[in-house]
């Protein structure tokens, strides 16, 4: 009886530990996702490539379109694209976008 309760609560703890981990972005994985952006965006220098440098993106007050820099506005940009920037809505999974955001916050 006691053993059974222990097993059940151990499972509960494991699940509680797993669920948030799935939703939170992983910056290391996001760096790999950024390979698809790196042709047009620098993450390490202020150099403008096809698109503006994204170095320090989340430290900026606003995007070029005037919107505040936050998860929603950057995700919208990634989903829809703009001008020569392609839309990534169907290219990247929700997990990849979460990882990408986590990475963008580190550059």
Site for ligand HEC in 57-86 (CB under 6 A): 57, 63-65, 74, 77-78, 82-86
Asked if 20 touches ligand HEC (CB under 6 A), the answer is: no
Asked if 102 touches ligand HEC (CB under 6 A), the answer is: no
Between CA 54 and CA 56 the distance in angstroms is 6
Interface segment toward ligand HEC; rule CB under 6 A; list 5-13, 15-23, 24-32, 34-42: 34-42
Instruction: List Cα–Cα distances, 13 to 4, 10, 23, in angstroms.
Output: 14, 5, 17
Cα torsion 52, 58, 59, 65 to 10°: value is 50
Residues in contact with ligand HEC, counted by CB under 6 A, come to a total of 23
């Amino acid at each position: 009886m006691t053993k059974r309760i222990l097993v059940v609560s151990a499972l509960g703890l494991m699940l509680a530990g797993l669920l948030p981990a799935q939703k939170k972005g992983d910056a290391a994985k996001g760096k790999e996702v950024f390979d698809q952006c790196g042709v047009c965006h620098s993450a390490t220098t202020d150099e403008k490539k096809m698109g503006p440098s994204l170095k320090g993106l989340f430290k900026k007050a606003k995007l070029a379109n005037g919107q505040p820099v936050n998860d929603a506005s950057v995700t919208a940009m990634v989903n829809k694209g703009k001008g020569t920037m392609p839309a990534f809505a169907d290219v990247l999974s929700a997990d990849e976008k979460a990882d990408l955001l986590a990475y963008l916050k580190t550059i």
